[in-house]
Chain A
């Protein structure tokens, strides 16, 4: 199993007074309605916090419906049993027995699958948790001609049971009052909370025979608390409802679900729906996000110009404008894409379709050594590799999980898009704008193809050990709750901004410092130097007033530590067709790919001082500059078709994101996997792009 020794680490969050505020945990199987209830209980005001030591983010909010009881409510990922079968289940189970034990568990139980969900409730009771059972989907049960007696269930379980429609507010308040009373009782009492030793003992004693016994008892319980309604509300003939009693799978709600599934999993229509859904998601990433991205880009461009205009020209205004604002801007610019992809995925997940998608692609994915459950992580990989690698926790087989994590960096994450956009715009002729879109689609598909190749090869070399299977519950299809989807999107975006964003802003700052130190005395710049620089860069002489400031900055960069570093690695960059400035931009991209664009801006001196550039966006100015810059020694143009293609290929393959490396280590439980990823992807990317550039040049492509 995965080593989770770090679970003993003290909690970084929440604050120290958290101990006094009791915690109420919502626990239940997947798709039992936990999250809807959670939003009701917390009034949708919550934070996702890292649970002690664990990297999984649980949503924890302040209770809003518990009267005068101060408490926090925690939503947890769905589990089937206290004996976890996958890593995400293990994290949840460990959390329940961890440093911050809940004072009360509200077990959320879907009444239409009572026996399966009560199995977990019985386990929670057995280890000694104080419980309240919240019954959901009772309306669905009734529409199927059956009814549950919560009073009887409460008597049999010897614990409070509350029939609940999570979408109705008054019921939530009633549950809150009940929970508050229970928590007070629990705090004043001296009852011992179950600890990790109880969990270990419980897991040790769990045998197939005991599971069988539990379900036999639960079948008996179900017979006693669920009865068929005398008059059939949905107009079933008597014989039909009698049959429904014998087999709950054939009741009304299940039948509707099944007829929809006949379409969604149909050999032809099912595939068509799947491909259409994927096509819609990815086109929306491109077309819907573009105006927002342009807006953010222009907004930050304006802000940077305003800061430079308002503040007196000094290194401080430079630091604020280029270092800080530029760094934040490069993080924010692809937030629209991440939001759109996460929104689309959240929407499909809440509707229940994502599980069908996973089932649908299980066979093709199993051919390349993966699993249907790799589908969601790989799809998330197109937004950002970090949440994607975490999503791989739902894959029970360790080999398949690690293989999924291994190929996730090949999926074209949104950080690559600013780079692709820039480089493809350079390659695309103005009269054929569609060509850029076509090439971009090609790049996205090629990432997928490369992932498949790598996965196939590795799975042929090293076969999966242990139980490789695909068992996935298909939740009832339903209309997604907009509010829940919005919230999950928002919190994933926050998670991304915190994890990747901080790194990127930090690196941008470091880059600014590297390119601005050691300081160069501005007066020392001679006009001769300025002319030499202009000639080397191949630019027309800028307007007289800006000449000194623009070239003095350029001189500062050419004498900076970054430049010294760039010159050291220039021999390595040359075969790829880049000079030392491109080399510095490439180094910066190792912090995070999108930093490449801002580094290019800095290294190739895209100043807002240039005479004709004032009214153009930063990207356009950069493009214009890219077509001009030349090697300092040979005077040849740096950015040509071949060198730009080489850079694109490098970005497609190379693992360049430090945050991803850290998460890969954390999720795979060691350095082996990220080290292999770095060696294979980054080394391979270099070799292949050098081969491409030199090959193209040998064929006569500039």
Chain B
């Protein structure tokens, strides 16, 4: 059951990733601002990120890294959010 659901979500990811252009969020340099174009992740993770405000059209700024290099701190919709690089990679942005 779990495996099937996982495969389905992988398939869905592939489908979605094909129509989301842009670069991944973790490719920004410190201080750089971009606009989110979409999220490539399985539905639950995607929903969670979106509910926090990571939705298409939002400006986002990479503020700084943390002492061990991960997570990164981003400014989004008036707040600062720490995000692992792995998650940042799921978020596609347009510079």
Partners in one complex: yes
Measured CB to CB, the residues of A under 8 A from B are 80-81, 83, 85, 110, 112-116, 119, 206, 208, 211-212, 215-216, 219, 246-250, 254, 257-258, 261-262, 265-268, 270-271, 274, 355, 358-360, 362-364, 366, 372, 396, 465-467, 469-475
Report the minimum CB–CB distance from B31 to chain A (whole Å): 10
Q: How far is the CA of A257 from the CA of B41 in the complex (A)?
A: 31
Interface centre among B55, B56, B59, B83, by most chain A C-beta atoms within 10 angstroms, is B55
Q: For the complex, is B63 an interface residue (Cβ under 8 Å from A)? A: yes
Q: How far is the CA of A211 from the CA of B58 in the complex (A)?
A: 13
Main secondary structure on A side of the interface with B: helix
Give the nearest-CB partner of B69 in chain A: A363
**Quick one: which of B45, B51, B55, B79 contacts A83, CB cutoff 8 A?**
B51
- A474 near B82 (CB under 8 angstroms)? yes
Counting from the closest, the 3 A-B pairs by CB-CB distance are A249-B75, A113-B78, A363-B68
Q: For the complex, is B87 an interface residue (Cβ under 8 Å from A)? A: yes
- A473 near B61 (CB under 8 angstroms)? no
- A248 near B51 (CB under 8 angstroms)? no
Give the nearest-CB partner of B76 in chain A: A249
Main secondary structure on B side of the interface with A: mixed
- B59 near A362 (CB under 8 angstroms)? no
Given contact pairs A208-B46, A474-B80, A362 touches B53 in the complex (Cβ within 8 A): no
Q: How far is the CA of A471 from the CA of B74 in the complex (A)?
A: 11
Give the nearest-CB partner of A209 in chain B: B50
User: What are the residues of chain B within 8 A of A466 when measuring CB–CB?
Assistant: 44
Q: How far is the CA of A81 from the CA of B65 in the complex (A)?
A: 27
- A265 near B83 (CB under 8 angstroms)? no
Give the nearest-CB partner of B68 in chain A: A363
- B78 near A114 (CB under 8 angstroms)? yes
Interface centre among B43, B46, B57, B67, by most chain A C-beta atoms within 10 angstroms, is B67
- A270 near B53 (CB under 8 angstroms)? no
Report the minimum CB–CB distance from A334 to chain B (whole Å): 33
Q: For the complex, is B70 an interface residue (Cβ under 8 Å from A)? A: yes
Give the nearest-CB partner of B64 in chain A: A265
**Quick one: which of B50, B77, B82 contacts A113, CB cutoff 8 A?**
B77
Range class of the B interface residue count: 35 or more
Q: How far is the CA of A562 from the CA of B67 in the complex (A)?
A: 55
User: What are the residues of chain A within 8 A of B81 when measuring CB–CB?
Assistant: 471-474
B25-42 interface (Cβ within 8 A of A): 33, 41-42
- B84 near A362 (CB under 8 angstroms)? yes
Q: B7-41 toward A: CB 8 Å interface, digit per residue (1/0)?
A: 00000000000000000000000000100000001
Q: For the complex, is B49 an interface residue (Cβ under 8 Å from A)? A: yes
- A364 near B68 (CB under 8 angstroms)? yes
Report the minimum CB–CB distance from A305 to chain B (whole Å): 54
Report the minimum CB–CB distance from B9 to chain A (whole Å): 10
- B50 near A270 (CB under 8 angstroms)? no
Given contact pairs A471-B83, A471-B87, A116 touches B71 in the complex (Cβ within 8 A): no
- A116 near B53 (CB under 8 angstroms)? yes
User: What are the residues of chain A within 8 A of B61 when measuring CB–CB?
Assistant: 247, 249-250
- B84 near A470 (CB under 8 angstroms)? yes
Given contact pairs A212-B50, A215-B53, A362 touches B71 in the complex (Cβ within 8 A): yes
User: What are the residues of chain A within 8 A of B48 when measuring CB–CB?
Assistant: 85, 396, 467, 471
Report the minimum CB–CB distance from A107 to chain B (whole Å): 16
- B51 near A271 (CB under 8 angstroms)? no
Q: How far is the CA of A409 from the CA of B81 in the complex (A)?
A: 31
User: What are the residues of chain B within 8 A of A270 when measuring CB–CB?
Assistant: 66-67
Q: What are 20 sample pairs from A and B whose C-beta atoms fall under 8 A apart?
A: A81-B51, A83-B47, A85-B51, A114-B78, A115-B53, A211-B47, A212-B50, A258-B63, A258-B64, A265-B64, A265-B65, A265-B73, A362-B70, A363-B66, A372-B71, A469-B45, A469-B84, A470-B71, A473-B52, A473-B79
User: What are the residues of chain A within 8 A of B82 when measuring CB–CB?
Assistant: 355, 358-359, 362, 372, 470-474
User: What are the residues of chain A within 8 A of B69 when measuring CB–CB?
Assistant: 363
